[in-house]
């Protein structure tokens, strides 16, 4: 039996797909796994902020098309890049153990967010990160930063920025952990939906492949928190074009969730947090999103749509 994995060409995407390949082949010696490299729209357009390009399937559509056409069987995604609604005929079939879900600050000078020099230049293209940075340090100059993890670190070292913000998970997976100066607490920087989790996408009714992948990859706790966070995302109808975040944690007595919706300038910042024990993950995510929307989140999103 052969399983073809569709993957982007970046070092991180290849690392992630290679990790899945090894897990499958080590546990199922009769299965051969092949990586098929595919270029997505998000990989081609590197000179514009993500929010200006449009976010639905920016890093997934071409790979999903290949799955639907039978060219590949599964895709390994950073789950934070996967839209809340998948194309008909496809589904998420497994969720990896969650690597560090937090954001990391890398700098020229071993700084933390608190002691960065006044008016320091910080690189990120994420509206979620921008809004929270401005809320914490309104003096900072936030400038767009695109490219793969290694490209962004190179730009930092070339002196184009005083600091950059990246997902800690990707930095660690590529072996750049010693470049991190501060891992930002979720109290300061609420993570992106499903950050740190790998989502394996496959075709519906490919039961044999799904069974193999779930057995070697799926982590039940990751699946639970991903369902909470992706339900939040779906209800808010957010993505790269909206400053929002949601972070769920499984506790002994329930699921603890922190989430926010903010204006582009970070001045309007609505936050919800709570412990939930009697609802399904989907109901929890939907409920916390609805409360934020009722508190003024809908007006914030409407204003953002008007501005864009």
Please identify every residue annotated as catalytic.
Answer: 81
Task: Return the sign of the alpha-carbon dihedral for residues 54, 60, 66, 69.
Answer: negative
Q: Per-residue pLDDT tens for 234-254?
A: 999 866 578 999 999 999 999
3-class SS of residue 46: coil
pLDDT of residue 265: 87
Is residue 69 scored above 70 in pLDDT? yes
Is residue 20 scored above 50 in pLDDT? yes
What residues have CB less than 8 Å from 147, skipping those under 6 apart? 46, 155
Q: Per-residue pLDDT tens for 142-164?
A: 999 988 899 999 999 999 999 99
- What is the 8-class DSSP label of residue 295? I
Two structure tokens written together for 249:
């944690």
The arithmetic mean of pLDDT across residues 187-209, rounded, is: 96
Residue ranges and CATH numbers for the domains of the chain are 2-96+197-218 (3.40.190.10), 103-184 (3.40.190.10), 232-307 (3.30.160.40)
Please name the residue that has the structure tokens 């962004």.
152
Question: For the CA atoms of the chain, what is the radius of gyration?
Answer: 19
The arithmetic mean of pLDDT across residues 189-196, rounded, is: 96
pLDDT of residue 53: 46
| The Cα angle at residue 5 between residues 208 and 218, in degrees rounded to 5 | 55
Q: How many whole angstroms separate alpha carbon 252 and alpha carbon 242?
A: 32
**Lowest-pLDDT range of 51-60, 90-99, 185-194:** 51-60
Mean of pLDDT over the chain: 92
Q: Which residues pair with 271 in a beta bridge?
A: 260
Neighbours of 308 (CB within 10 A): 11
The arithmetic mean of pLDDT across residues 55-59, rounded, is: 61
Is residue 48 scored above 70 in pLDDT? no
């Amino acid at each position: 039996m052969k399983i073809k994995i569709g993957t982007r060409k970046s070092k991180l995407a290849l690392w992630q797909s290679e990790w899945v390949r090894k897990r499958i082949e080590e546990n199922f010696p009769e299965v051969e796994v092949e990586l098929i490299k595919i270029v997505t729209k998000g990989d081609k357009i590197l000179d514009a902020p993500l929010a200006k390009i449009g976010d639905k399937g920016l890093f997934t559509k071409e790979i999903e098309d290949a799955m639907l056409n039978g060219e590949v069987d599964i895709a390994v995604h950073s789950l934070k890049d996967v839209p809340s609604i998948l194309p008909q005929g496809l589904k998420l079939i497994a969720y990896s153990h969650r690597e560090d879900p937090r954001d990391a600050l890398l700098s020229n000078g071993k700084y933390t967010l608190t002691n960065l020099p006044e008016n320091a230049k910080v690189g990120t293209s994420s509206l979620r990160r921008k809004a929270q940075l401005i809320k914490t340090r309104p003096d900072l100059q936030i400038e767009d930063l695109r490219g793969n993890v290694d490209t962004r670190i190179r730009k930092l070292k070339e002196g184009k920025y005083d600091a950059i913000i990246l997902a800690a998970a990707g930095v660690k997976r590529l072996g750049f952990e010693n470049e991190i100066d501060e891992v930002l607490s979720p109290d300061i920087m609420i993570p992106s939906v499903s950050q740190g989790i790998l989502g394996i996408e496959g075709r519906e009714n490919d039961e044999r492949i799904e069974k193999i992948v779930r057995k070697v990859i799926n982590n039940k706790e990751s699946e639970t928190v991903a369902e909470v966070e992706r339900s939040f995302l779906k209800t808010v109808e957010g993505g790269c074009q909206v400053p929002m975040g949601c972070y769920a944690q499984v506790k002994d007595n329930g699921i603890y969730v922190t989430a926010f919706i903010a204006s582009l300038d970070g001045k309007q910042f609505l936050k919800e947090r709570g412990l939930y024990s009697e609802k399904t993950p989907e109901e929890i995510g939907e409920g916390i999103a609805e409360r934020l929307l009722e508190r003024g989140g809908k007006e914030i999103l409407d204003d953002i749509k008007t501005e864009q």
